């Protein structure tokens, strides 16, 4: 018996399996959502593919899954008969299934993507003198190195991005550089995370031709630490350094740092470190998180301070670098400016890419998000992902921007810039963010006037007992 499968409204499919009592046909997908049968012919929506199977009744796969399919139906043709069979498809009306783009109907399709992610899981670094796991024997690959778990996190994330934005990817891998650009800070863990993403997004399909190579090579453009004025912003900027020094010496910052004076002494005595600013808490907290996640037993003394109330201070350490508009202009502003320039370039034709991808750090994410007013006051986890989409509504010529954040959740959640909505008009977004975008970052950095710092940020951590003393 020969079954013909007609594929209609395909958005993304990993595979279709047609099972019969005595056999099955499997249809693996191409990167763009089309199918690649055994004979390597391309099957697209509206075209047909046939394969021979034995006799017997037609049944859906036993696991009730047909890849990650988003289409309406297929026709089964046998002995001149045409039978329309509904299969499992993703629609909002189904409780467990969501459309790949829930905003398309309201805001139009995505025509450009800017995405920034934090690198994957890593080993500890900046080890405290009294850390029982300070010995490098506990950390294969070395201190600070990306782990196998971190590589897998980004490989899976790359597959997820490829599914969600398949229409922005080139049909042929030869054209990758004309559609996608990937940038990274000059750290091994961010560059390796980006490589894992690209391996998942751009697999090869003809293993015989490629002699076992499973992914198409994609360039990662790294920015040396001394030149980075975009992602982690480690390039020297006298003005920003002066502002941060003034911020850390401000009354408000010192009030937060010494909110729990007994905890400071308690941590210093037990960890063997000196707490001079909130970043010291951030480093200790991150190491504790990594060790706990690795299955190591933490010292008993940490039970009084980890995760809380230390966590509350760590959150402030992520906010402090972009505490007000002036700081945002130097720290998160350059990336926001890049995003908006990418969008404008796409619209006026000067930017021919479809995606700009950035591999960075937790502090890169928090700075970018807080600069736009969408930081969620939580530590960005490993492989956290920020998505900024340019869309063109079906019934309008006004481009809009949507933002999503994917942390530890399976699906991303929508972010809304204050006063802008989920489908924010690009022009309105540009106007709202104008105060935090530098006109000339290099020139503005040369003004190192310090001045007094008035910090306008409320810090109201919960009352917590620590170290035998009330911390309020």
447: in domain: no
Cα 296 to Cα 290: distance, rounded to the nearest angstrom: 9
Domain match, 134 and 205 both:
yes
Q: Is the pLDDT of residue 202 over 50?
A: yes
Q: Is the pLDDT of residue 3 over 60?
A: no
Question: Nearest to residue 339, comparing CAs of 385, 422, 397, 401?
Answer: 401
Cα 231 to Cα 65: distance, rounded to the nearest angstrom: 40
Domain match, 336 and 219 both:
yes
Domain match, 226 and 368 both:
yes
Q: Give the residue with greater pLDDT, 41 vs 380.
A: 380
Cα 18 to Cα 5: distance, rounded to the nearest angstrom: 9
Domain match, 162 and 184 both:
yes
Domain match, 192 and 296 both:
no
How many domains does the structure of the chain reveal? 3
Q: Is the pLDDT of residue 27 over 60?
A: no
At 152 the three-state DSSP class reads helix
| Ranges 74-78, 166-170, 463-467: which has the least confidence | 74-78
Domain match, 268 and 316 both:
yes
Mean pLDDT of the chain: 81
Q: Give the residue with greater pLDDT, 166 vs 211.
A: 166
Secondary element (H or E) of residue 358: strand 355-360
The pTM of the full predicted model, rounded to 2 decimals, is 0.79
Cβ-proximal residues to 449 (8 Å cutoff; 6+ apart), any chain: 239, 242
| Ranges 169-178, 193-202, 207-216: which has the least confidence | 207-216
Query: How distant, in Å, are the alpha carbons of 94, 163, 245, 332 from that of 436?
Result: 42, 33, 19, 8
Rounded to a whole number, what is the distance in angstroms from the first to the last CA of the chain? Answer: 77
Q: Which residue carries 């970018």 as its tokens? A: 368
Cα 129 to Cα 287: distance, rounded to the nearest angstrom: 12
Tell me what the mean pLDDT of segment 393-404 comes to.
93
313: in domain: yes
Q: What is the pLDDT of residue 80?
A: 34
- Number of Cβ within 10 Å of residue 352's Cβ equals 9
Contact 390, 399 (CB under 8 A): yes
Q: Which residue carries 């950035």 as its tokens? A: 358
349: in domain: yes
Tell me what the mean pLDDT of segment 325-343 comes to.
98
Q: Is the pLDDT of residue 186 over 90?
A: yes
Domain match, 283 and 393 both:
no
65: in domain: yes
Q: What is the pLDDT of residue 156?
A: 97
Domain match, 228 and 283 both:
no
Tell me what the mean pLDDT of segment 3-32 comes to.
39
Cα 397 to Cα 69: distance, rounded to the nearest angstrom: 31
97: in domain: no
Domain match, 316 and 462 both:
yes
- Number of Cβ within 10 Å of residue 464's Cβ equals 16
> Which residue range is the domain that position 268 belongs to?
238-324+456-470
Cα 179 to Cα 353: distance, rounded to the nearest angstrom: 4
Domain match, 144 and 54 both:
no
91: in domain: no
- Number of Cβ within 10 Å of residue 419's Cβ equals 9
Contact 144, 412 (CB under 8 A): no
| Ranges 47-61, 101-115, 323-337: which has the least confidence | 47-61
Helix axis angle for 426-433 and 333-348, nearest 10°, is: 150
Q: Is the pLDDT of residue 92 over 50?
A: no
Domain match, 114 and 221 both:
yes
Q: Is the pLDDT of residue 121 over 90?
A: yes
Q: Is the pLDDT of residue 467 over 90?
A: no
């Amino acid at each position: 018996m020969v079954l013909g499968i007609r594929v209609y409204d395909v958005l993304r499919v990993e595979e279709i399996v047609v099972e019969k009592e005595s056999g099955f046909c499997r249809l693996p997908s191409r990167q763009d959502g089309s199918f690649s049968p055994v004979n390597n012919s391309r099957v697209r929506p509206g075209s047909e593919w046939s394969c021979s199977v034995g006799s017997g009744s037609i049944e859906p796969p036993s696991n009730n899954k047909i890849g990650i399919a988003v289409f309406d139906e297929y026709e089964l043709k046998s002995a001149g008969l045409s039978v329309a069979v509904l299969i499992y498809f993703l629609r909002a009306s189904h409780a467990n299934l969501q459309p790949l783009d829930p905003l398309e109907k309201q805001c139009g399709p995505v025509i450009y993507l800017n995405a920034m992610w934090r690198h994957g899981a890593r080993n500890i670094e900046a080890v405290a003198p009294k850390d029982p796991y300070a010995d490098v024997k506990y950390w294969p690959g070395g201190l600070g190195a990306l782990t196998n778990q971190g590589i897998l996190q980004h490989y899976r994330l790359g597959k997820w991005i490829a599914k969600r934005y398949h229409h922005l990817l080139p049909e042929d891998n030869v054209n990758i550089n004309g559609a996608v650009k990937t940038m990274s800070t000059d750290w091994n863990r961010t560059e390796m995370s980006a490589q894992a993403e690209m391996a998942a997004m751009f697999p090869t399909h003809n293993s015989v031709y490629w002699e076992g190579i499973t992914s198409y090579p994609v360039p990662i453009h790294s920015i040396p630490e001394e030149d980075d004025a975009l992602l982690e912003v480690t390039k020297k900027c006298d003005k920003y350094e002066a502002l941060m020094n003034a911020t850390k010496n401000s009354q408000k910052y010192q009030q937060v740092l010494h909110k729990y004076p007994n905890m400071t002494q308690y941590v210093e005595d037990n960890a063997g470190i000196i707490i001079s600013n909130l970043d010291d808490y951030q480093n200790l907290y991150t190491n504790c998180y990594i060790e706990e996640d690795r299955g190591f037993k933490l010292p008993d003394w940490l039970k009084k301070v980890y995760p809380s109330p230390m966590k509350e201070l760590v959150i402030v350490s992520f906010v402090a670098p972009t505490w007000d508009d002036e700081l945002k202009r130097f720290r998160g502003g350059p990336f926001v400016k890049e995003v908006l320039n990418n969008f404008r370039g796409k619209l006026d034709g000067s930017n021919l890419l479809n995606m700009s991808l950035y591999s960075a750090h937790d502090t890169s994410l928090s700075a970018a998000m807080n600069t736009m007013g969408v930081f969620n006051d939580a530590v960005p986890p490993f492989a956290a992902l920020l998505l900024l989409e340019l869309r063109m509504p079906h019934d309008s010529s006004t481009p809009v921007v949507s933002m999503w954040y994917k942390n530890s959740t399976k699906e991303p959640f929508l972010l809304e810039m204050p006063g802008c909505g989920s489908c924010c008009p690009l022009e309105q977004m540009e106007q709202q963010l104008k105060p935090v975008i530098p006109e000339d970052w290099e020139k503005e950095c040369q003004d190192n006037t310090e001045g007094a710092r008035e910090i306008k940020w409320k810090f109201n951590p919960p009352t917590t007992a620590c170290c035998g003393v009330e911390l309020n």
